[in-house]
Amino acid sequence: MHAERVCKARAQKLTPIRRQVLQALLSSHRPLGAYEVIDDLAKSMPRPAPITVYRALEFLMANGLVHRIESRNAFLACAHDHDAAAMVAFLICERCGSVGEIPAVPVAQSLNSAARATGFAPKLSVVEITGTCAHCQSASSN
């Protein structure tokens, strides 16, 4: 499993709750809010406390295994091999809610440079692009 390799390489523990939170996100076809993750986990185990799930999500984000979709206040599993600092842009379909990701390092560098030129010290850049995914476009043309 990708997550196990990442955690082993970083000398981090993929605890059972972290694994279950990640699995809930991996099995979803859309981003989930923390309470949706809790509801999903409660189907197969005692309902976890919100703080437990939030801590697991923080760990998974810090290790590049999960992304936070800021505009949706939701989380998305990431199977790509990049670290947590790698910049990606999220492609959010307004019809079906699916989210894809594309590399966005040049965009992030440009935005951060522009921000620094004004004396601003950027901490976090999130690029979210809304529109219609290829699947929904082809479905509407039929």
Each residue's pLDDT, cut to its tens digit, for the chain (142 residues) gives: 788 888 888 888 999 999 999 999 999 878 999 999 999 999 999 999 999 999 999 999 998 899 999 889 999 998 666 555 567 889 999 999 889 888 888 888 898 899 999 999 987 777 899 999 999 999 988 7
Global pTM? 0.80
| CATH placement of domain 88-141 | 3.30.1490.190
User: Phi/psi of residue 23, each to 5°?
Assistant: -65, -40
Q: The tokens of 131 are what?
A: 């529109």
Of 7, 6, 71, 66, which Cα lies nearest the Cα of 37?
A: 66
Who contacts 72 (Cβ-Cβ below 8 Å, separation ≥6)? 31, 33, 92
Domain boundaries, the chain: 2-77, 88-141
Q: What CATH fold (topology level) applies to the domain 2-77?
A: Arc Repressor Mutant, subunit A (1.10.10)
Q: Rounded to 5 degrees, what angle do the CA atoms 2, 23, 37 make?
A: 140
| Fold matches, 2-77 and 88-141 | no
pLDDT of residue 80: 67
